[in-house]
Amino acid sequence: MGDEGVALVELAGVSKAYGGVRAVRAVDFTVRAGEVHALLGENGAGKSTLMKVLSGEVAAEQGTIRIAGEAVRFARPADAQRAGVAMIHQELDLVPALSVAENVFLGREPHARGVLDRRRMVAETRQLLARTGVGFDAATPVELLRTGERQLVTIAKALSLDARILIMDEPTSALSPHEVTRLFAVIDQLRRDGVAVVYISHRMEEIGRVADRATVLRNGEVVAEFDARELTAAQAAEAMVGRPVHLMFHAETRATVTEDVLEVADLVVRPRAGRREPAGISLRVGAGEIVGVAGLLGSGRTELLETLYGAGPKGARSGTVRLRGKDFRPRSPRAALRAGVAYVPEDRRVSGLALEHSVLANTVLSIVDKLTRFGLVPAARERGKARETAGRLGVKLTSLADPVGALSGGNQQKVVLGRALLTEPALLLLDEPTRGVDVGAKAEIYRILGEIARTGVGVLLASSEPAELVGVCDRVVVLRGGRSVHELDTALAGEAELLAASMGDVR
């Protein structure tokens, strides 16, 4: 059980502002050796900023850091790493063109007699991957991996540093329940080894399972501390938001389907090298229906949505897709958008947002064509639409002119969703739409999805959270190895059945 009770990390009076935004204010925060300490808070509460101070990426204006009782100053991440601090970032910071092994050892590649020891690098990476139960190889280029797989790579990378303080900023946001279980086993081992773990997550059900203590931030300040084992989701949410929150969501009225918006039959996409692609997917989405897509990593969820959005692999494809009764083969996202299909991608960094551009520009990007009058986009209309969307989704920002990159992770996700809604689609494709979104905003997004469906839009929702699929969807289609293998009616089946079907254990 390590040195239990000893404060390995002590942050005292830490403050950090970005321009006029006070992201973190006078925060005291301690983590003991052998403790998993959850850090909770709404989107923009200051969690990532506080942890970037501890990992040497952001310089605090005020406050002190002590590691094992000794005052330290971190001018850069390398300083923190030397002191034993490693951080798994919320936004995955991998180099796509490099292999998994190269990413894991980036900047500290092993050498033997002056030359790069590639063999050792690959061998050690394989061991690390085995620890997290990963199914892909160390030599795979990261660009061929899906978001959840990339998340596992960043975890392996942090583990390889042998840190005594490990910060995990939303490590499970793209993982399915099966992968989460494996990660928790790794975390339990770290705890036994006496590592201090800071665990940030918006998945409330994880906190009691994995954490010992929980600290809640609100508007940059510590507002509560709990024994994590006894903390209920409702208590946590109330501390985060500052008032009681209704966490329950359920489709109030079930859709009475009059026509199909989308019909997919035996959809097969030509495989890209080394990857499995959807093979034999059949499903339908009626007008006003929310249909879920479930499945483990690599089951074909994302490939399916990308294909429907004209962003899938080019080339031969078999099977049929019909949109509002007509044959549908979009050649590009632009063509799909014009046909009435909107898409919220899984990884907002890769395909979602232009981070250096303003919230305004990112929000209205999708509807510039529609807003244009006589070749000009009226600025007032543009601002009006963007402000309305940001307000509706509760995006926390100072100005629409802020670059999207300055928003917290969850708030970036809301911008992506808002932009898709603005196109007024007939079919809305969502891949992990609440990834990194806080509890209050999640409930709001579910409410909005219900509202949109009631206007006759068909919604196809891919998610790795069984509770979300069962709570929000009318039906859930389960994919395995690129095939649709099962369909559940959520009025009759629950999370347990869904999990069993995803794992291939259908009774």
Ligand X SMILES: Nc1ncnc2c1ncn2[C@@H]1O[C@H](COP(=O)(O)OP(=O)(O)OP(=O)(O)O)[C@@H](O)[C@H]1O
Under a CB-based contact definition with an 8 Å cutoff, are residues 211 and 199 in contact? yes
Q: Which two tokens stand for residue 202?
A: 């918006």
Nearer to Mg ion, 127 or 398 (CB): 398
CB of 32 to ligand X, least distance (A): 22
The count of other CB atoms within 10 Å of the CB of residue 247 is 16
* Residues in 55-114 at the binding interface with Mg ion, rule: CB under 5 A: 90
Closest CA to 279 of 503, 487, 485, 499: 485
By CB under 5 A, is residue 409 in contact with Mg ion?
yes
Closest CA to 183 of 201, 227, 175: 175
Under a CB-based contact definition with an 8 Å cutoff, are residues 403 and 355 in contact? yes
CB of 417 to ligand X, least distance (A): 13
The site partner of 43 among ligand X, Mg ion, none (C-beta below 5 to 8 Å per kind) is: ligand X
CA distance linking residue 345 with residue 350, whole number of Å? 9
Radius of gyration of the chain (CA): 23
By CB under 6 A, is residue 48 in contact with ligand X?
yes
The site partner of 49 among Mg ion, ligand X, none (C-beta below 5 to 8 Å per kind) is: ligand X
By CB under 5 A, is residue 48 in contact with Mg ion?
yes
CA distance linking residue 448 with residue 385, whole number of Å? 17
CA atoms within 13 A on the CB side of 117: 12
The site partner of 46 among ligand X, Mg ion, none (C-beta below 5 to 8 Å per kind) is: ligand X
CB of 87 to ligand X, least distance (A): 12
The count of other CB atoms within 10 Å of the CB of residue 491 is 9
The site partner of 214 among Mg ion, ligand X, none (C-beta below 5 to 8 Å per kind) is: none
Nearer to ligand X, 45 or 479 (CB): 45
- Assign 411 to helix, strand or coil: helix
CB of 236 to ligand X, least distance (A): 13
Under a CB-based contact definition with an 8 Å cutoff, are residues 240 and 440 in contact? yes
The site partner of 389 among Mg ion, ligand X, none (C-beta below 5 to 8 Å per kind) is: none
Nearer to ligand X, 172 or 299 (CB): 172
Stretch that binds ligand X, among 42-50, 67-75, 291-299, 464-472 (CB under 6 A): 42-50
Closest CA to 202 of 431, 44, 436, 443: 436
CB of 501 to ligand X, least distance (A): 31
Size of the site for ligand X (CB under 6 A): 21
Under a CB-based contact definition with an 8 Å cutoff, are residues 413 and 437 in contact? yes
**Backbone dihedral region for residue 164 (phi beyond 0: left; psi -120 to 50: alpha; all else: beta):** alpha
Give the residue, chosen from 15, 49, 307, 389, that forms a contact with ligand X under the rule CB under 6 A.
49
By CB under 6 A, is residue 103 in contact with ligand X?
no
By CB under 6 A, is residue 423 in contact with ligand X?
no
Nearer to ligand X, 5 or 391 (CB): 391
CA distance linking residue 422 with residue 210, whole number of Å? 38
The helix or strand, by DSSP H or E, that contains position 448, with its residue range, turns out to be: helix 439-454
**How many residues belong to the chain?**
507
The count of other CB atoms within 10 Å of the CB of residue 216 is 25
* Residues in 1-40 at the binding interface with ligand X, rule: CB under 6 A: 18, 21, 23
Give the single-character DSSP code of 301. H
Give the residue, chosen from 312, 409, 418, 425, that forms a contact with ligand X under the rule CB under 6 A.
409
By CB under 5 A, is residue 352 in contact with Mg ion?
no
Amino acid occupying residue 397: L
Stretch that binds ligand X, among 30-38, 43-51, 221-229, 375-383 (CB under 6 A): 43-51
Closest CA to 37 of 166, 204, 157, 177: 166
Give the residue, chosen from 2, 14, 29, 44, that forms a contact with ligand X under the rule CB under 6 A.
44
* Residues in 249-268 at the binding interface with ligand X, rule: CB under 6 A: none
The helix or strand, by DSSP H or E, that contains position 267, with its residue range, turns out to be: strand 260-269
By CB under 6 A, is residue 406 in contact with ligand X?
yes
The site partner of 147 among ligand X, Mg ion, none (C-beta below 5 to 8 Å per kind) is: none
* Residues in 134-193 at the binding interface with ligand X, rule: CB under 6 A: none
Q: Which two tokens stand for residue 315?
A: 């080339």
CB of 240 to ligand X, least distance (A): 10
Stretch that binds Mg ion, among 11-19, 98-106, 286-294, 409-417 (CB under 5 A): 409-417
By CB under 6 A, is residue 299 in contact with ligand X?
no
By CB under 6 A, is residue 90 in contact with ligand X?
yes
* Residues in 424-483 at the binding interface with ligand X, rule: CB under 6 A: 436, 438
- Assign 128 to helix, strand or coil: helix
CA distance linking residue 197 with residue 200, whole number of Å? 10
The site for ligand X (CB under 6 A) is made up of: 18, 21, 23, 41, 43-49, 90, 396, 406-411, 436, 438
The site for Mg ion (CB under 5 A) is made up of: 48, 90, 409
